[in-house]
Structure 1
Amino acid sequence: MRVVIVGAGIGGLALACGLTRDGHQVRVLEKADGLRLDGAAVTIFSNGAAAADGLGVPLDGLGGRVETLSFGTPDGREFARADLRELHRRTGYAVATVPRRAILERFADALPAGTIAFGREVTDVETPAADAPAADVVVGADGHRSAVRRAVLGDEPAAPNGWTSWQGLTKDVADLGTHARCLIGPQGLCGLMPAGDGLLQWWFDVGTDRPEAGGTVGWLRDRFRGYADPVPDLLDHLTEADVQEYRHVTHRVLDRWGTGSTTLLGDAAHAFPPSQAQGANQALEDAWLLRRALAAGPGNLRSYERIRARRVRRISRLATSEVTNRPPSTAARLAGRLLTPRLLARLQLAAIRRASSVLNDDRPE
């Protein structure tokens, strides 16, 4: 088939890789003049790694392996720890934090030359064609402000929930080895993850408060200065250029994501906050199942949407609650003390499985 994919992000390029391997004629339309290599890193959990592998472009060797994840209070006292090696043991796929740039470059390098057309903005899509009248299938992978979504589903934008991540990727600030940390207090959450090659992925999740114009770093220093090491050292080394703003938004996850031979994937279909670190993973899941659906022709698009909507709705509700960004309750502290790191990881994997098509071998019908 001739497939047009609108958007050269992680989900769009992953789908292009899988469909190209199946012999389809694929064209990716990207409004930017080149790959959008800005942004920090993303955490690829076992489901996302399995999906990328299933699409023919494994992410092996990229980023930094994450074997343990701890949660603590601002003074550094740990109240819960997950042994993420358990996910590797049970699925065959490890957890890693990978710079977004590295993922996009790996996918792009795997595509035939000329697959991606840059500088091609799609503003008004008439099903089933998007800047390519001969397309058999059009896939909107153009983010939470998706033009394809507006064209086929109407203008119901993703709604902000008040939370914002102030994030970045910095070299030589702290060597965490294979351990990731989250410190949570009334001022917000600070997350720290190894991203490979001496890089540290960091973020500060804050509720409705915002810095004054041009003063983000000073505002973060004032707000998080009392957090345990290495947070003060990280803050001392930051410049305004290091900090990227990522506002948390949520789509209402619909059962139907398109009409005719047009559909959506990733944030275009189901944007939700990053608090469960599943955004990129769910986009890869979408690409994996959509490839499987298109193997039998465009008639399976609605089945793909129903299956993925049911899966992603579960993780979207959890992420939208921002429960991990709030200081732990007494019950949560008690649970953290009672649950072993391996058991906590198994519970996390159970939640991931409920939202996973690839780990459940879903098949559109």
Structure 2
Amino acid sequence: MDIIIAGAGIGGLALAHGLLADGHAVRVLEAADGPRRGGAAVTIYSNGAAALDGLGVPLPEGLGARIDALEIRDDKGRRVSRMDLTVLRKATGFPVTTVVRERLIAHLAKGIPVEYGQKVESATPDGTVVVGGRTLQADVVVGADGAHSRVRNGDPAAWNGWTTFQGLSTVPAKDGLLIVGEAGLVGLMPAGDGLAQWWFDVRGDVFDPAAFAGYADPVPEVLANLTGLGSFPHLLHEPAWGAGKVALIGDAAHVFPPSQAQGANQALEDAWTLRRTLAGDGDLRAYGRLRTPPVRLVSQMAASERTNRPAGPITKALARMVPAGLAGRGYVALVRRFSTVLR
């Protein structure tokens, strides 16, 4: 088939690999003048890694940093819980890895003839695409053009009142760390090559470093090394999968807050499922039916923003009693519920 993919982000590029391997004629149109940059890092969980592997573009050894544990502390530095993520790797065959987004995009773009500076202005269910005033026709049009997708055409994403401020620095980080207090959440993840991703989830759209000044280590060191501060509002809209010859993936289909760290992973799940659909009977409605249950679960949990709020004393006491391995096994069950690929 002749397939047009609007957007050269993580989902669009990964999908292109799978479709090209299946013999389709694929055009990837990207509005930007070159490869996407910025966005700090992205954590690829086991379900996203399995999707990449199934699309024929697995994460290479040495790209990013493997995350073997995730610890949650309160703002005084006291441990609330710890999760052993090696349990997830053993159960699924795929680890958890944090990768600088720009480097992941570069990896996924290899071998894909992206047409940059080509902004898709609209798409209709009959496969007609308007790009820079020109009209193109395709057997399938994939909207992978983000939360403000022109392919989705309508139903704009709404801000839920929270914002992530994030960047990269050389602050030491061994495993994943989340510190939660009244001012919001501070996250830290090693991202490979001596870099760490840090982020602050706050209510409102203004970042005030002073609000986090009383947080325990390593927050003071993170605050002292803030560079390249990027602002990302938490957006939400109802999942939509397209109509006719149009299919949506990633944020174009289902943007939600990043609190479950599943944005990129669900985009990869979409790409994996859409590839299989097009290799089968091509029923795009079936694609949407397969993806709706896991996406709704992720979206509902992310929209609650409960990970960004301090837990109560009873919840903390119970969480401290759960061994890291048992917490890891519980997370395996949750990730399977998040996933079409692993199921």
TM interval, shorter chain, is over 0.9
Q: Residue 106 of structure 1 corresponds to which residue in structure 2?
A: 107
The question of 1:226 aligning with 2:214 is answered yes
Q: Residue 124 of structure 1 corresponds to which residue in structure 2?
A: 122
- How far does residue 253 in structure 1 lie from its aligned partner after superposition? 2.1
The question of 1:264 aligning with 2:248 is answered yes
Unaligned runs of 5+ in 1: 361-365
Residue 324 of structure 2, aligned match among 319, 324, 341: 341
Any conservation in 2 of the 1:57–1:110 contact (CA below 8 Å)?
Answer: no
Residue 136 of structure 1, aligned match among 135, 139, 146: 139
Matches for 1:239-250 after TM superposition, within 5 Å:
239=227, 242-250=228-236
**Matched residue type, 1:136:** D
Query: CA deviation digits over 1:122-157, x for unaligned, max 9?
Result: 11223312246331100000001000001xxxx211
The question of 1:20 aligning with 2:20 is answered yes
> More strand per residue: 1 or 2?
2
Distance 1:328 1:110 in 2: 47
- What SS class does the counterpart of residue 168 from structure 1 fall into? strand
Q: Residue 4 of structure 1 corresponds to which residue in structure 2?
A: 4
Matches for 1:1-365 after TM superposition, within 5 Å:
1-61=1-61, 62-111=63-112, 115-127=113-125, 128-131=127-130, 133-150=136-153, 155-170=154-169, 172-174=170-172, 176-177=173-174, 179-208=175-204, 210-211=205-206, 216=207, 219-220=208-209, 222-239=210-227, 242-254=228-240, 257-298=241-282, 300-360=283-343
Distance 1:321 1:251 in 2: 14
- How far does residue 268 in structure 1 lie from its aligned partner after superposition? 0.2
Any conservation in 2 of the 1:64–1:194 contact (CA below 8 Å)?
Answer: yes
Distance 1:136 1:109 in 2: 25
**Matched residue type, 2:147:** H
Any conservation in 1 of the 2:124–2:246 contact (CA below 8 Å)?
Answer: no
**Matched residue type, 2:239:** V
Q: Residue 363 of structure 1 corresponds to which residue in structure 2?
A: none
- How far does residue 297 in structure 1 lie from its aligned partner after superposition? 4.7
- How far does residue 290 in structure 1 lie from its aligned partner after superposition? 0.3
Query: CA deviation digits over 1:287-315, x for unaligned, max 9?
Result: 000000000253x1110011101221011
- What SS class does the counterpart of residue 95 from structure 2 fall into? coil
**Matched residue type, 1:356:** S
Distance 1:294 1:258 in 2: 14
Any conservation in 2 of the 1:272–1:279 contact (CA below 8 Å)?
Answer: yes
- How far does residue 235 in structure 1 lie from its aligned partner after superposition? 1.0
Any conservation in 1 of the 2:129–2:137 contact (CA below 8 Å)?
Answer: no
**Matched residue type, 2:289:** R
**Matched residue type, 1:145:** H
If the length of structure 1 is used for normalisation, what is the TM-score?
0.90
- How far does residue 236 in structure 1 lie from its aligned partner after superposition? 1.4
- How far does residue 119 in structure 1 lie from its aligned partner after superposition? 0.6
Distance 2:15 2:9 in 1: 10
**Matched residue type, 1:116:** V
Q: Among all aligned residue pairs of Structure 1 and Structure 2, give the percentage whose two residues are the same amino acid.
A: 51
Q: Which moved more, 1:74-83 or 1:329-338?
A: 329-338
CA RMSD of aligned residues (A): 1.2
If the length of structure 2 is used for normalisation, what is the TM-score?
0.95
**Matched residue type, 2:327:** L
Distance 2:71 2:242 in 1: 40
Distance 2:111 2:293 in 1: 31
**Matched residue type, 2:140:** V
How many pairs does the alignment contain? Answer: 337
- How far does residue 68 in structure 1 lie from its aligned partner after superposition? 0.7
- How far does residue 335 in structure 1 lie from its aligned partner after superposition? 2.6
Any conservation in 2 of the 1:141–1:264 contact (CA below 8 Å)?
Answer: yes
